[in-house]
Amino acid sequence: MTERPSRRLLLVHAHPDDESINNGATMARYAAEGAHVTLVTCTLGERGEVIPPELAHLTGAGLGEHRLRELTAAMRAVGVEDFRLLGGPGHYQDSGMMGLPDNDDPGCLWQADVDEAAAHLVEVIREVRPQVLVTYDPDGGYGHPDHIQAHRIAMRAADLAAEAGLGIAKVYWNRVPRTIAEDAFARLQEVLPGLTFPKSAVIDDVPGVVDDERITTEIDGTAYAAAKAAAMAAHATQIEVAEPYFALSNQLAQPLFSTEYYELVRGQQGAQGRETDLFAGIEVAS
């Protein structure tokens, strides 16, 4: 039997591309350091808006299949081999943006029974035995129904796993400190005339921005900035990258952060001040 790596990180995301935007540098760093990194994506993003005109014909299941190929390429870029779809590919479908009729589709993630969906994730936890879980805050970062539901599923799975004796030592939510966002957007305004994007996004467009004092952990992924940018660029239906900036289908430029930030919401903080390691304070024996 293959020996289990001593550090094991589980990330739960809503759609292909979310993982690279939020955690691309973190994933690349820990994978390069020999940690076992597991990504669980809850849907294939079948209702995402497609950027390249030559791919505009992709919709529904066809788009989902294409986005799975993009996810595969993105994970190759950051060195992650263990990536899965919750319940299997297509088990839960994209719910669309909040308030649309798509939210009522009985097959979409928004309509899923949280306990049932969490049970699928518990099976992954049982296999992988992660010490660290990363997911969204209760608002899903910006209010998308699939992000909110991914948060609910991840947190419920953590509870169920603990009840089964499979407790996860630390749970983090994705964050961006407000001052970091403000500084990055100020620099963006200076260079915007030289970019291909016509306008800038605003800080409110960035998921998970909070006051600085809520940040418990920062992961310096500067050495993996190129890997993160490559992973994001692999999601070509959803993201256009002009490093160190990018835009989604709205064509609004925003910063690409190579240092990634987190809020520890369960578990013991492993350092005074901000942690610089998600595994800080954890006994890493398998």
Whether residue 15 is annotated as binding a ligand: the answer is yes
Q: How many helices (H) and strands (E) does the chain have?
A: 6, 12
Quick one: 154 exposed, middle or buried, by C-beta within 10 A (0-12, 13-18, 19+)?
buried
Q: Are 262 and 276 in contact (CB under 8 A)?
A: no
pLDDT tens by residue, the chain, 286 residues: 467 899 999 999 999 999 999 999 999 999 999 999 999 999 999 999 999 999 999 999 999 999 999 999 999 999 999 999 999 999 999 999 999 999 999 999 999 999 999 999 999 999 999 999 999 999 999 999 999 999 999 999 999 999 999 999 999 999 999 999 999 999 999 999 999 999 999 999 999 999 999 999 999 999 999 999 999 999 999 999 999 999 999 999 999 999 999 999 999 998 788 999 999 999 876 4
Q: Are 153 and 123 in contact (CB under 8 A)?
A: no
- 8-266, superfamily in CATH? LmbE-like (3.40.50.10320)
Question: For the chain, which residues make up each domain, given as ranges?
Answer: 8-266
Q: What pLDDT does 3 receive?
A: 76
Q: Is the pTM of this model over 0.85?
A: yes
Q: What pLDDT does 271 receive?
A: 79
Q: Model confidence over 81-136: pLDDT tens digits? A: 999 999 999 999 999 999 999 999 999 999 999 999 999 999 999 999 999 999 99
Q: What pLDDT does 286 receive?
A: 47
Whether residue 18 is annotated as binding a ligand: the answer is yes
Give the amino acid at 273: G
Q: What is the CA radius of gyration of the chain?
A: 18
In degrees and rounded to multiples of 5, residue 188 shows phi and psi of: -60, -40
Whether residue 144 is annotated as binding a ligand: the answer is no
Q: What pLDDT does 4 receive?
A: 81
